[in-house]
Each structure stands twice: as C-alpha cells, then as structure tokens.
Structure 1
Amino acid sequence: MLLWAVGNVSAHAQTFNVADYGAVADGASYSTAAIQAALDDCHDKGGGTVLIPTGTYLTGSIRVYSHTRLQLAPGATLLGSKRLEDYDEEHPHLIWGDSIERFRLSGDGVIDGQGESFFDRSGRSWKAEKGARPAPWILITNSKDIQVEGVELVHSPAHVLVFQKCKNVVVRGVSIRNDIRSPNTDGIDIKGCRQVLISDCFISTGDDAICLKSAQDTVEQVVVSDCILISDDAAVKFGTGSRYPIRNCQFSNINISGTRYGIAFFMTQGGIFEHCQFSGILIETGSRHKTEYPIYMDIDKRSVEQALGRIRDIDFSNVKIITRGNILIGGQAGHPVSGIRFNGVTMALTELTDLRAVSKKPRGNKSFLTLPGMEDFSAVPAHFTLGYVKDVKLEDIRISHQFGESPYQRHFFHFQEAEAIQLSGLQLPPEMRGRKKIHQKGEVSLTIE
C-alpha cells in the first residue's frame, strides 16, 4: 500500500493565526467568521498553516481547503456551538471539506463538540431528534491525501470523523472520547474509501468505534493497528452499508473492551466482504445489551427483492477473547460464509448468557425488519455457532470456563449445513473433552485432528 508521505502542506511556509483575524479566546464570543477568514485567506494565497493558538474558541461550521494545515496549539480548544443555527444549513458539520487534497488537521489541542446539548438525557438511554444536531461532525468527501494527527476529539453530537469517497487517508495518534450513552457517535467511519491507515488511536464511544461502509463505493486497502477501542456497539464493524466490496483490509495489535460486538460483519446489501486479516486482537465484551458477540458474521438482506451477498476469506489469528457471549458465523442456503480461518484463538467464558431466550438475531440496525426465509442461528446454545459455512479451519482453539455453576448449558461447537470443516488442536478443560461437545445439524462434513 502506498500512502501519502506527510510533509509540508504547501510550498509556502505561511502561518495564518486566527487571532489576527479577530478570533477571541474566551469560549463565549463567536469566532466562526474569524476562523473562516483565516482559512479563506490561506487558500487564496496558495496554502499554509492556519493556527488555532492557546485558548478556547467558540465556532459553528468551518470549511477547509487543499494545501492547508489546520493546527491546534497546545492548550487550544475549538469549541463547537450548542446552537444548530450556527451550523451551515447545506453542510451541517463543524469541519467539512469537499474535493480537496493535501489537507492536514493536527496538533496537541482539543476539539469539543458539546454534544450533550443535542441529546435528550432525561431517560436511561440518551435520545436525539432527527435532524436536530450537526451530523456528521467532521466530514471530508471526494478528497485525497488527508491526514488527521494528534488531536483530541471529544463530546461529539454525531458520527465523529467521517471520510467519504477519499483516497490516501492517515489517522494517527488521535483520541476520540464520547459518552458511552451517546447514540450514533461512531468514532471513525470509512465510506467508499481506498488506502486508509489508522494507527495509535484511542477511541471510546457510544456507537461503533471504527466502521467500514460500502453503500456508495468500494472500500479497500484499510490498515488499522495499535489502537484501543471501547464501544457500546461494535468496536470494528463491516456494513451494514455493503452494496460494493470491502476487501484487502488488515487489523492488528488492537485492544477491544466494553463492547457488544468485538468484530462484526453485517452483509445486508448484496456485496462482498473478502480477503481481510485480524491478528493480535484482545476482545473483552461487556455491554448493557442482553447478548454479546466477540466475533459476529451474518449474511442477510434488507428487502425481499434484494440479492444476498457473500463473506469469504477472512482470517483470525492470535486472538484472545474474554466474554459471556459467543461467536456466531451465519450464512444462508446457497450463500455460505466461506474460507474462514481461526488460528490460535483463546476464549475464556466469564459466565453464560441464556442464548435460548434470544428472540432474534441482531441485524446491525434496529429498524431493519426480519424477512421470512432468512436463517437465524442466534438462539443456538454454543460457544462457536457456524451455520451455512464452507471451507472453515479451526486450529489451536482453547476454550475455558471462568465461572462455577451455571443454569445454562452450551455445546462447544455447533455446525449446521457445514461443508469442509477442519478442527485441530482443540484444547478444552479436562472434564469436558471429547466429541460429545460438538453438535451437528443437517449436512455436515467435519474432520477432527
């Protein structure tokens, strides 16, 4: 993968200090016009650095341009307005850029969205009225050679950092912190992008931490490494937007905790997820939800007329799991999940959820209706459930129970309509070894070594 090597954003070493344009660092006076004037002037003069100096600057929507570095000095805070009318009606975002190149957002400062002001916090779960908040919060579209580095992004009112139809994107050393109760506050969304690197980031949020979506275009060559992810939903999510392929992605050295899904694949729009690797992953689930899935894959569709998609050639190696939930891999008749590899997976069960009480499988969006004829394996009582799968290797799998008595019982493995399954190097507690812990249903071809 060739990624943009970050250098000067312009041949000009110009710095445009927003204070020189009238920005006031008191956190109460609106500085939108002054910040935008500095950005416009920088753009008109061929590019350079727009500096947010130490202090707190209140602002609404600002537009960024090519060959520009928006730099936050140590102790600088860019404070998003609490009033929706301060955001551009056509582009309701705090920061946005379209069809730009070589833009960099960086520094040691903070961007604070004051997101709590856009939520109804009177109930147990926070709520937001549709169209009543700036969303997405930071949006870059149709662009290339983009970098976000070092900044802290806190209290977003919506999806935090969204790249749409972009190429050569680097996000490094960024901290994203939202209240775990805040809905629709995805950390980083990659939508129809190519060549994306995310590394050394801390993301704690009330929705998906890192989400790849291909509803509008292909997503490929995404590399994520050395990150800490805390999410109330999915730490890493593919879909549900999945009309085009998501392929050739690598995730490594990632610490996941407090989440409903560690890694989730929601194929709902007839596309394909393929050729992706996950290695060196620690997943500790722990959420407010009834069910938890350290790894979840599902092929489904949103409408009766829609074609079913495919999931194939996904590798998991050196994965440690701590959970009360289970791993579920589910395809459909004629559309099996295929070419899946688990190698060196340790699964420690802290307790057992009553899976038989599950009313229906999760579909990635609570508004999606359950369609007739779609297989649902969510109520199968097993640590590993694999239904309508083909060419699956499970190597060096270790399962342990870290609890005493439980009123619920599970199979270690459940295979249903499964072809060419290879199971080797299985390690179970001494008192629970043996093939009797493997449950089969339908046509199953299984080799155990």
Structure 2
Amino acid sequence: MTSRTCEPPVPSLSGTVAKASPAPKPHLYPSSLRRSAVFRVRVGGIPLDVLHHEAAHHASFECGGPVEVEIEIEMTGSPQPGTFFIRPLVLGIETTLSERRLHFTLPEPRNLQIEVAGQPLLYLYARPFAPATPTGPDVRVFETGRVHEAGLIHLREGETCWIEPGAVVRGSIRAYHVDGVRIGGYGILDGGYWVERGDGERRKGIVLDHCTNARVDDILMLGPCQWMLVLGACTDVSVHGLRQIASEMSSDGIDIVGSRKIRISGCCLHNGDDNIAVKSLSNTSRPDERLPLSPAIKPWTGTVEDVVVSDSVFYNINGGSAMEIGYETTTEVIRDIHFRNIDVLAVHEFGSVFGIHNGDRACVENVTWDTIRIEHHFDTLIDIRTLKSRWNTDPVRGHVRNVAIRNVRALKSQHNDGYTVSIICGHDAAHPVTGVVFENFELGGRHVANADDLDLVTRHAHDIVFR
C-alpha cells in the first residue's frame, strides 16, 4: 500500500480554507547518466537530478503551483558568481544571490533558462503534473528509471510511443503514411545513439512522413542530431510542450516541410540552427533513414499553409533563424504562417530573428509575427529576401508579399550598433518583396518609425509601412 502524507490546509486571503499544492515531483534518472558538476538544484526542499549536456545542463520536475527554487553554483574559472539572468525576462522573477546560491519563487509550471556568467547554461523544466501513462495494445511504453537502447522505432497506424518521466530512449522515431500516431511523456529521446553505437552519423530525431492527425507532446529531445523533429508532407499535426537541447549545425528544432494545418505551442527549443523552419522540398535524392520504411519515397512538396506557432521560447546558436521560412521553397504557395507570443532568448552569430529566404518558385504570402520579445540578437534582426542559393533547385524565383510584424520588443546591447542590420530585398524587379508592415515595433526602448531606425537595407522592395 502506498502511504500519502497529509498536508495542513492553507488559509486564503478571503478567510476561507484553500487546499495546499502537492509537493513537487522530481524526475529521477538512471545513475549511469552524467550529472552536472556545476549546479545543484532543490525545489520545495527536494533535490533534483541535474544532468550534464554539452550544450546546456538540465533538470526537470512536476508541480501544480508556486514552488521555492534554490540553485547552488559550484563556480568554475571564477571564485564568485558574476552577472546572472533568469529567462524569459518577461516573467520578471525576483532573485537573490547569496553565497553562490540563487533563491526565487516560481509561480507556476514554466520552462526557465538560467544564465550565470562564465558557467554552462541551465534549463529548469517545471512541468504540470504528468497524466497517467496510457495503456492498450497500440501503446509502446518506455518505463521510467531505465536507459533504453532502442535504435530505430517505427510507429504504425494509431500507435502511441510513450516515454515516462525518468526514462531515456536512445535512438530515433519514424512514422510513414499513417494516421493517429502519438509521441508523448516527460522522458528523454537521446539522438546520440547513432553517433556512438550506430554508423557514426547524426540522424534526424523524429520524422513524421506523410502522416495525418498526429501529436507530439512534452518529451525532451537531446542532440547530437540533425533536424530534430520533421513534419514531412503532413496534415493536422499538433506539437505541444516539446523541449530540445542541441548545438550542432543543422540541428533544426522543428522543420515543417510541405505540411498543412500545423499547431505548435508551449515549446522550449535550444538549437544550433533554425528553431522553426517552414519549407517545401523534394528530399527524394537523399532518402537516408526513410528508405527502410518507405516502399516508395514521396517528396515533401506541396502547398504549405495554416501554420501557427505560439507561446514558445527559442534559443539559437551557430546560425539559422529563430523563425524561418525557407530556404527550400519548392512549391507554388506557402501561406498563412503565424508566430504569436514568442520569447527569443538569443540568436547568436550569423542568424536572424525574423527570416524569409524564398529561394525557389513559391509565392510566400500572409505571414505574421505578433507579440515577439527578443532578448539578444547580433548579426541580422530581420532578413526577408527572394534569392538564389546553393540550397535551391527551381530554375525560377518566387515572390514574398503581405508580411506583418507587430508588437515587438527587442532589447539592444553594445554588440548591436554598427553590426546589426535588417534586410528586405527582392531578387530582381520581377521577383520583389511587397507589402511589409511594421506596427508597434520597439527596438532598444524606442519606437521604430522608419527604415533608419532599423538600419534597414532594401532592394526591389515595395510598400514598406511603419506605424
């Protein structure tokens, strides 16, 4: 019989009795996994397993309400902590630092990034209490407390792959031309399997290939990996609460390729390339690991439309964009793409925050960014172009039209002035960019009223409006 500790009721401000929140539940992992030598974390007085990853250390737990957090820092290379941030900054978490310890209250389940100068990044994933593990003949469960050397997992019609909290699955997941597959749970999918035990090559983490009515929820994906999650020629897919840590070039977060009716929300993505990439491409000349599963390789081309990415956190290093359309745009139309309520923690090196790179024949139209907060960027803030590049195959160029960028708050640093630019350029007079509206755009605390305020470079670009 399982015992349960009874907690006393908590008086509410109104004088009635409110129920106390349950104690937080840590995610505990097998002892074989490498722990952080820098961070020790307690939530509600309960110690967490803090795991080491080359890109960022991480820990996770479940809670139902406010929880006290203490982070002890074993400094490397510096005797005392320096500058620190708890991101996203919009949360406004008040923090004290005393004797190498950070103390703060997390009001609700959220994904946090803790940055301490000179130390590795730390992700603290506070998740709502996990639902019960699903059961049934079409459910494949990877149990908690184990490292599962799975290799290639092939999901069939209606199957669920469930990775329990504290479970680590090493390998990758594929589904081809099926309906109703689901991938979920709070556990880890580790893409390092193929590098360490397979053919020595990085592979894509999850590929849903010509699938319909699919869901990907809550798991933590770790690199080294190529494209982390690929939706190739899919329809009606929901991705919610996905977390990723990877730093390698081409470790795109979520690639939406030739797909329609896509909903992405509540994600926290740390990638070495585009966090979100919207594309259309053939991908038949390099089928890679699709080949054993696909009796006939079909391209990931076709109209891309009705895509909504919302309520998410992005961190980008090495290159690519936080939010990208392109470069591969081999289709007639890419339209109705919407990004809403996004926190961009950083775009480092030569990437951009807002990116459209239309290199093939598509007409890219009706794209909106609304309520975007940017904490750090460097090379390019906005990069909207029709162009020709080494990634493209169509002999003709396309168009970009009807783009709205609204309600943006972008911070500036000493690294921006004289270095950061924005670009809006058509390929030539016949393939322009037309109809770009900036509304309520704030950069470094100042309203952007014209192109000069953005250091904006234009060519074959028309109807650019500032409000």
Give the TM-score normalised by the residue count of structure 1. 0.61
Residue pair 1:59, 1:78 contacting (<8 A) in 2 also: yes
Q: Which residue identity does 2:421 align to in structure 1?
A: N
Candidates 284, 303, 315, aligned match of 1:230: 315
Candidates 409, 422, 428, aligned match of 1:320: 409
Candidates 334, 341, 358, aligned match of 1:267: 358
Q: Which residue identity does 1:263 align to in structure 2?
A: F
CA separation in 1, counterparts of 2:255 and 2:363?
Answer: 18
Task: Give 1:272-291 correspondences, 5 Å limit.
Answer: 272-286=363-377
Deviations 1:29-75 (A, max 9, x none): xxxxxxxxxxxxxxxxx952211111211121121111111111221
Residue pair 1:106, 1:151 contacting (<8 A) in 2 also: yes
**In the TM superposition, what is the alpha-carbon distance from 1:174 to its structure 2 partner?**
0.8
Candidates 318, 330, 337, aligned match of 1:249: 337
Residue pair 1:163, 1:191 contacting (<8 A) in 2 also: yes
**In the TM superposition, what is the alpha-carbon distance from 1:116 to its structure 2 partner?**
10
User: Which residues of structure 2 form unaligned runs of 5+?
Assistant: 1-29, 34-135, 282-300, 447-451
Using the aligned pairs only, state the percent identity: 24
Name the CA shift for 1:65/1:227 in 2 (closer, same or farther; >3 Å). same
**In the TM superposition, what is the alpha-carbon distance from 1:132 to its structure 2 partner?**
4.8
CA separation in 2, counterparts of 1:115 and 1:159?
Answer: 15
Q: Which residue identity does 1:53 align to in structure 2?
A: E
Candidates 194, 213, 218, aligned match of 2:303: 218
CA separation in 1, counterparts of 2:369 and 2:454?
Answer: 23
Name the CA shift for 1:176/1:301 in 2 (closer, same or farther; >3 Å). same
Deviations 1:142-177 (A, max 9, x none): 110110001111123211101100000100011011
Candidates 156, 164, 180, aligned match of 1:102: 180
Match of 1:52?
Answer: 142
Residue pair 2:266, 2:312 contacting (<8 A) in 1 also: yes
Q: Which residue identity does 1:222 align to in structure 2?
A: V
Residue pair 2:195, 2:201 contacting (<8 A) in 1 also: no
Task: Give 1:370-389 correspondences, 5 Å limit.
Answer: 383-389=455-461
Match of 1:345?
Answer: 441
Name the CA shift for 1:381/1:387 in 2 (closer, same or farther; >3 Å). farther
CA separation in 1, counterparts of 2:453 and 2:463?
Answer: 23
Match of 2:208?
Answer: 140
CA separation in 1, counterparts of 2:277 and 2:246?
Answer: 16
Q: Secondary structure of 1:146's partner?
A: strand
CA separation in 2, counterparts of 1:26 and 1:217?
Answer: 47
Name the CA shift for 1:115/1:322 in 2 (closer, same or farther; >3 Å). farther
Deviates more, 1:102-111 or 1:304-313: 304-313
Match of 1:159?
Answer: 227
Deviations 1:225-252 (A, max 9, x none): 0000011221111111112121011110
Match of 1:371?
Answer: none
Q: Cα RMSD between the aligned structures?
A: 2.8
Task: Give 1:405-416 correspondences, 5 Å limit.
Answer: none
CA separation in 2, counterparts of 1:276 and 1:381?
Answer: 22
CA separation in 2, counterparts of 1:344 and 1:280?
Answer: 10
Give the TM-score normalised by the residue count of structure 2. 0.59
Q: Which residue identity does 1:311 align to in structure 2?
A: V
Name the CA shift for 1:102/1:326 in 2 (closer, same or farther; >3 Å). same
Matched, 1:390 2:458: no
Higher-helix-fraction structure: 1
**In the TM superposition, what is the alpha-carbon distance from 1:100 to its structure 2 partner?**
0.8
Residue pair 2:194, 2:201 contacting (<8 A) in 1 also: no
Match of 2:270?
Answer: 204
User: Which residues of structure 1 form unaligned runs of 5+?
Assistant: 1-24, 29-45, 81-93, 119-130, 351-379, 396-449
**In the TM superposition, what is the alpha-carbon distance from 1:321 to its structure 2 partner?**
1.9
Q: Which residue identity does 1:266 align to in structure 2?
A: H
CA separation in 2, counterparts of 1:382 and 1:313?
Answer: 19
Name the CA shift for 1:255/1:115 in 2 (closer, same or farther; >3 Å). farther
Equivalenced residue count is: 296
Name the CA shift for 1:27/1:61 in 2 (closer, same or farther; >3 Å). farther
Q: Which residue identity does 2:430 align to in structure 1?
A: G
Residue pair 2:421, 2:456 contacting (<8 A) in 1 also: yes
CA separation in 2, counterparts of 1:156 and 1:146?
Answer: 25
